[in-house]
Structure 1
Amino acid sequence: MADFRFSTNIFGIRSLPDFTGTCRRAERLGYDTVFAADHLGVPSPFPVLVAAANATERLHVGTLVLNVPFWNPVLLAREIATTDVLTGGRLEVGLGAGHMKWEFDEAGIDWEPFATRTERLRATIDELTRQFARDGFEQQRERNAEFDLPALRPVQRTGFDGSGPPLLVGGTGDRVLRIAAEHADIIGIAGARQLPGQEPGTLRLCTAEEADERVAFARRTAGTRADRVAWHALVQAVVPSVDRQAAASELLPRFGDTMSLEQVLETPFLLIGTPEEMAEQLRHNRDRYGFTHYTVHGPFMDAFAPVIPLLKSPASEAGDGPLRR
C-alpha cells in the first residue's frame, strides 16, 4: 500500500526570515513538499520555491497549480528548468487551466471558454515536453561550445515523458481530469466545483459521493496508468476538535445550503476531529479513493502537524478503529 505524503501551500510572505522559518518548521514537522500558488496578490511562485529549497535540506517544492493561460510555454520551460536546477532537482510542477475570471480581467488577459483553456493546458504540456527534451537552441551551440556552457534543462527526468520534473495536473472537470489521466505523474482531485449561474471562481465543495465519481472517471481514463500514478487531494480546512459533530455543525454555515451535516463529516476535502480521528479519516480515504498525497493550506499547517507522525510510523497502518461521526 502506497505511503502517505503531506504538503502545505504558501498563502503569503511577511519577510525572508519569517518565510524561511516557516519552511524549516514545515520540514521539522514532517511535511514532504511546500507548494506555491499562482494567483494575483500572492507571491510569485518560482522565487518562492528557490527560497524554500535554499532554506531547507530535503523539502520538495512545487506549484499548486500554475494558471497555464498566464504563461508563454517556452518562457515557462525556462522558469521550470532554472528552478529545478537551483533547487537541486526537488521541483514538482503542478499545472491547471485557471478558474478565477477576475484575475484574468485585472491582468488584461483574455478570459477564454473552459474548453479553450483546457486545450491550452494540453498544448502547454506538449510544448514543455518538447522543450525539456531538446539539447538547447541551435542558435546558441557555437557560443555554448566556446564558453563550455551547458544547455538549460531540468535536472530531473521523471515527468513530461521522462524529460522533466514530476508533473501534477489538478482539477475537477472532465476535460482537466482527462489531461491529468493521460499525462500527469500526480493526479490532483481539487474537490471544488463551479456553482451554476455564479461568477466564475464561485465554488462549492465536492461531497464524498462526487469524489467517488471523479476518481472513478479519472481512473477509467488513465487505464493501466491508474495504479502507477499518485493521487492527490487538496484539503480546504483542518478543524481540530474533541467533538467532530459539534465542530462540523459550527462549520456548516460556511457552505450555505450546498452541503448537509453528514456531507461535511464525510467529504475527503475537510479534516475534522482529534489527530487520531483525522488519521483514521485519511486511512479510510486512501482505501476508498486512493488518495495518498494531501496538501493543507498554509494557515492549517500547524493544526495538521500532529496527524503526520500517526501516519508515517509502521504502527499507524493497523488503524485505530472506526471513525466517530
Structure 2
Amino acid sequence: MCGPGLLGTLRHVRAFRFSVNVFGIPSREALRERCRRAESAGFHTVFAADHLGAPAPFPVVQAAADATEHLRVGTLVLNAPFWNPALLAREAATADVLSGGRLELGLGAGHMKHEFDTAGIPWEPFGARVDRLEETITTLRRFFATDLAALPGGLSPVPVQRTGFDGSGPPLIVGGTGDRVLSVAARYADIIGVAGAFQVPGEPPGTFRLATAAEADERVRFTRERAGGRADDVEWHLLVQMVVPTTDRRAAAEELVGRLHGMSVEDTLETPYLLIGTPAQMAEQLRASRERYGFSYVTVHAPYYEAFEPVVELLRG
C-alpha cells in the first residue's frame, strides 16, 4: 500500500488494538468460549452490533464481560434512533459497572431502512438521523456528568469510567462515512471509525460499496481537519469487511471484483477495508494503513476471526 501518509501530522504512533464483532450466539457456552479464546489470542475487545436479526447488544456485552477477565466489551455501533437517550444512559452505566469499567460505547446514525420499517421506527432523512445522533451524545454526556444516582430513587448506577465524553463516562466511538456524521465524530468521539462504506446511487438504502484507498485518505483528512487540535488524541478505528487468506493476492482480488461495486483489481488490493494475503502480508497491510491513515484499532467481523488470529499473533507485540 502506498500513497500520501498522514502519520507526519501525528505526535506518536499508537499501538495496535484488535477486536471482533459478534453476529450470533449459537449458545451461551459457545459465546463464552469465543470470548475467552479472543482474550487468550490477544484481542482487546469484543463488540456487539445493533441490528434486528442479531442478538440484543447489551446482554451480549455483559455475557462477554462475565466470561473474561480483562477483555473490553462494547457496541459497534448502536443505532441512535432506536434508543431513548436517558434509558440508554442507564443501560450504558449499568454495563460499565457490571463489566468492571470495560465498556466502549459505539453510536451511529443508522443506515438499514428495512430495520426501521420492521421496528415501526420512522425512517428520517440522513441529516435528521445525524441530528438525533448528536442529541443522543449530548444527552448522554449530561446524564453521565451529573450523578445518575441523584435522580429520584437514588439507585441508578454511575459509570465506573470517566475517560470518555470529556471525562463523564466510558469511551465513545462514533463511526460513519458522510461529512455530517464524521463532523459529529470529530467533535465528540474518543474513537473515530472512518467506516469506508458508501451508499450505491440508485440502489435500495443499505446497498454499499467500499471506499478506495484514495477515498479513505480524503475521509480521514476531512475528519482530522474537523477534529482540529484533538485529532492526535483520537484513536482511529478500521472496520475490516473481509479477511481473505491466500498466497496469491492478485488472483484473490480478481475473484473478488465481481462482488464489489465499482472496484478494480488495484482498488481491491489497496483499500484498507479488505485484508488479502498471507498472515505476514495482512500484517504488513495493517502497518501500512496505520502509517497512511492512522488506523490502529482494527475490528474484523466474526466470520473472519479464525483467519485473522494469526495476524494478531504477528502484531500483538
Following TM superposition, the consecutive aligned residue runs of length 4 or more in structure 1 with deviations greater than 4 angstroms are none
Give me the whole-angstrom Cα distance separating, in 2, the residues matched to 1:241 and 1:123: 45
Q: Counterpart of 2:314?
A: 310
CA deviations 1:94-136 (Å, max 9, x no partner) are 0000000000000000000000000110010000000011123
The equivalent of 1:266 in structure 2 is: 270
Matched, 1:109 2:121: yes
Q: Does 1:167 align with 2:165?
A: no
1:137, CA displacement in angstroms?
5.8
> 229, 250, 263: which one pairs with 1:245?
250
2:35 maps to 1:23? yes
Query: Which piece of structure 1 moves more, 304-313 or 217-226?
Result: 304-313
Confirm or deny: 8 A CA contact 2:236 2:295 kept in the other structure: yes
**Distance change (3 Å), C-alpha of 1:153 and 1:138:** closer
Give me the CA root mean square deviation: 1.0
Gaps of 5+ in 1: 314-325
Correspondence 1:34-113 to 2 at 5 A: 34-113=46-125
- Residue 237 of structure 2, aligned match among 232, 240, 247: 232
Residue identity matched to 2:302: G
CA contact (8 A) 2:72 2:104 kept: yes
Q: Distance in 1 between matches of 2:255 and 2:218?
A: 28
> How far off its partner does 1:197 sit?
1.8
Q: Cα distance, 1:249 vs. partner?
A: 1.1
Larger Cα-atom Rg: 1
- Contact preservation (8 Å) 2:149, 2:157: no
Q: 1:255 is matched with which residue: 236, 251, 260?
A: 260
Is 2:296 the partner of 1:292? yes
Aligned length in residues: 305
Cα distance in 2, alignment partners of residues 70 and 191 from structure 1: 23
- Separation in structure 2 between the aligned mates of residue 59 and residue 250 of structure 1, nearest angstrom: 36
What are the equivalent positions in structure 2 for 1:177-188 lying under 5 Å apart? Answer: 177-188=182-193
> Is 1:128 matched up with 2:132?
no
Deviations 1:165-202 (A, max 9, x none): 00000000000100101100001011100111221111
**Shift in CA distance, 95/139, structure 1 to aligned 2, threshold 3 Å:** closer
- Residues 1:208 and 2:213 are matched in the alignment: yes
Per the normalisation by structure 1, the TM-score is 0.92
2:150 and 2:250 map into 1 onto residues whose CA distance is 63
Determine helix, strand or coil for the equivalent of 1:198: coil
For 2:282, the equivalent position in structure 1 comes to 278
The separation in 1 between residues aligned to 2:239 and 2:193, in whole angstroms, is 8
Aligned partners of 2:51 and 2:115 also within 8 Å? yes
More RCO (CA 8 Å, sep 6+): 2
Residue-by-residue CA offset, 1:257-292 (whole Å, 9 max, x unaligned): x10000000000000000110011111111100000
TM-score, reference length from structure 2: 0.94
Of 217, 220, 239, 2:225 maps to 220
